[in-house]
Structure 1
Amino acid sequence: MMTGLVMAFFVIIMAVVGPRPAASAEGVALGYEGYLGGLHLMSAEVEMARNERNYRMETTAEGRGLVGWILDWQSKAVTEGVIGDNGELRPLRHRRDMVRGGKPAKIMQIEYRDDGVPLVARLREGDEAKFAEVEDRKGTVDPMSAVSAIVDQMAAGQACAGSSQVFDGKLRYDVTAKMGESLSLEGNKYMMYKGAAERCDLTLKAIDGFDEDELKGNPREREAPDDETMILTLWFASPAEGLPSVPVMASADSDYGGLRIYLARAEAADIPTEGQRAEAR
């Protein structure tokens, strides 16, 4: 089973594959294939849309290959939020469903008060959600909102930079973005894009909620032997004419082998924006 920090990477990867479409009901639908240690790990589909005030992102994923057969998992995550006058993304709600072995889904729900305090409910499918305030996580954001802000920078032609305090309902970690050197990707049979791409390195630093044996990662990626961090590298490019710059590849190293995520499908899509789905509270 993956360690908690690798699972945090998985959630982040599900977030980073949402690009910034135009400020209208037009969005982008993307499909990704993931591999861990050379084994087919997952398939993921992503939809994102936004207007001037609201944003929404939805991802669905399921296990593939031998790993998928052993773990037998599917997941779905949805984030809805509002966009401030300064462009800052503020989540209103986040929900993540995980199904394993055909059992009722484990659900993590987060609602956000106006003052930024998250209210968290953990439940099984069919149960009533009972929310608990988590005062010491005030000001944190969900993983999808955190990385969406970074993707916005890249889509706008800016350098990826900055950091976010992330809380996914259990794990608390920091995400810091730093621009790297551009590279021409040679491409392969798994990905639809080859050519020039911009590099953005995301560093995840474990803060709280991780078990002692989960603080692993790859020693080669650490600044010090006891540095509880992992690094995810994203490569951004426009995969087709008329589409925004999106992650065309993501890579990371872990104790379980190299993790590689490739963009396999991309198209424009008519996706309702948050202005049609949710209202700011």
Structure 2
Amino acid sequence: MTSEHGRNALLAIALLSSAPCAYAAPSANAPLEAQYSVFTHGLHVANVVATYQLQPWGYGVTTELQAGGLMSWFLRMNVRSTASGRFDNGQIDPVSYDSSGFSRGANRHIAVQYRGGVPAVTIHTPPETDRDPVPEAQLPHAIDTLSAMALLLDSMEKTGKCDGEAHVFDGIRLTAMQSHGPVQTTVPDDDGEFYHGPALRCDFIGQQIAGFVTHSSHLADMQKARPGAAWFQNLPGIGMVAVRIEFDHPKLGHLIGVLRSPPIQG
């Protein structure tokens, strides 16, 4: 695995781990922890732990991403991300986003504060001078990846639907996300899923629109729309939980995340 391929792997897994509709909408307001394993080409490459709490008035989300399986042989990765914000009449009002840890060969830290609905990067270390900045005109109303997840979880819990769209800004890249559904289906049984049987599937599409690596030889691929999906099951005492997530990536192909154990609430 080349260093460039490894960097793309980390970016893809990070996006998968925080993709909209990726976790549960708990039926109670206690914090919930869900653990996922991530696979590509049938190989285990990462582990994701998500801890979050949804209230009628707001949310808090934390994810921890670590290399696992084959990936841990080649790359060191340990990234912790947090987000918080408020719900307001079906809309979301993020307050803060923070992501820090070791990835792509260095200790990295990005912090975002929201001011009047506009994300402002307050910490970005080390600077990434090889990347085009996201134009300021495209930032109003953009939300971070974890807040996008919280918004769709709130919609899924309150309306039973995952229709929506958002511009998602992680402090580096800007991605246009659309989601729709759900449709009644069954959970695919090909990656050692802990959960099987009937499920509701939400489909989504992500397309990076800004924040590309300058003069990247992969620009055309990175600009393409990438489909994904999440399979939800209603777990007793918990609520709607995504037991499987899929996402396409131009370098790694098809990424799959599966819930590897029952979520823990309380």
TM-score of the aligned structures, taking structure 2 as reference length: 0.83
Q: What secondary structure is seen at the aligned counterpart in 2 of 1:118?
A: strand
Q: Which residue of 1 aligns with 2:23?
A: 18
Q: CA 1:161–1:46 in structure 2 vs 1: closer, same or farther (change >3 Å)?
A: same
**For the residues of structure 1 that align with 2:186 and 2:68, how far apart are their CA atoms?**
29
Q: Tell me, yes or no, if the aligned pair for 1:52 and 1:83 is still in contact at 8 Å.
A: yes
- Aligned partner of residue 182 in structure 1, secondary structure: strand
1:251 is matched with 246
**Structure 1 residue aligned with 2:36:** 32
Alignment of 1:79 with 2:63, yes or no, is no
> Kindly tell me: are residues 189 and 74 of structure 1, through their superposed partners in 2, closer, same or farther at Cα, counting changes over 3 Å?
same
Q: 1:139 and 1:49 mapped to 2: Cα distance?
A: 23
Classify 1:23/1:76 alpha carbon distance in 2 versus 1 (closer, same or farther; 3 Å): same
Are 2:265 and 1:269 equivalent residues in the alignment? yes
- Counterpart-to-counterpart distance in 2, 1:102 and 1:167: 22
Contact 2:13 2:46 in 1 (8 A): no
Which residue among 48, 52, 58 is the counterpart of 1:54? 58
Map Cα deviations across residues 118-162 of structure 1 (whole Å, 9 max, x no partner): 2102025xxxxxxxx974212110011112222222233522212
RMSD over equivalenced CA pairs, Å: 2.8
Count of matched residue positions in the alignment of Structure 1 and Structure 2: 250
Cα 1:87–1:12 change in 2 (3 A) is farther
**Structure 2 portions without partners, runs of 5+:** 127-133
Secondary structure at 1:94 match in 2: strand
Residue 235 in structure 1 maps to residue 231 in structure 2:
yes
Tell me, what secondary structure is at the counterpart of 1:52?
A: coil
CA distance in 2, matches of 1:210, 1:4: 12
1:45 aligned residue (43, 46, 49): 49
Written as runs of structure 1 = structure 2, the 5 A alignment for 1:1-281 is: 1=5, 7=11, 10-15=14-19, 16-22=21-27, 24=29, 26-84=30-88, 86-100=89-103, 103=106, 105-113=107-115, 115-120=116-121, 121-123=123-125, 135-136=136-137, 137-179=139-181, 181-185=183-187, 187=189, 190-211=192-213, 212-215=216-219, 228-238=224-234, 240-254=235-249, 255-270=251-266
- Residue 170 of structure 1 aligns to which amino acid in structure 2? I
SS across alignment from 1:139: coil
SS at match of 2:263: strand
Aligned counterparts of 1:6 and 1:207: Cα–Cα separation in 2: 19
Residues 208 and 102 of structure 1: is their aligned pair in 2 closer, same or farther, counting only changes over 3 Å? closer
CA contact (8 A) 1:178 1:201 kept: yes
Q: In structure 2, how many angstroms separate the alpha carbons of the residues matched to 1:181 and 1:22?
A: 21
Relative distance call for 1:173 and 1:6 in structure 2 (3 A) is farther
Relative to structure 1, the CA distance from residue 62 to residue 232 in structure 2 (aligned partners, 3 Å threshold; closer, same or farther) is same
TM-score, with normalisation over the residues of structure 1? 0.79
Structure 1 unpaired stretches of 5+: 125-132, 219-226, 271-281
Q: Is the 8 A contact 2:16 2:255 kept in 1?
A: no
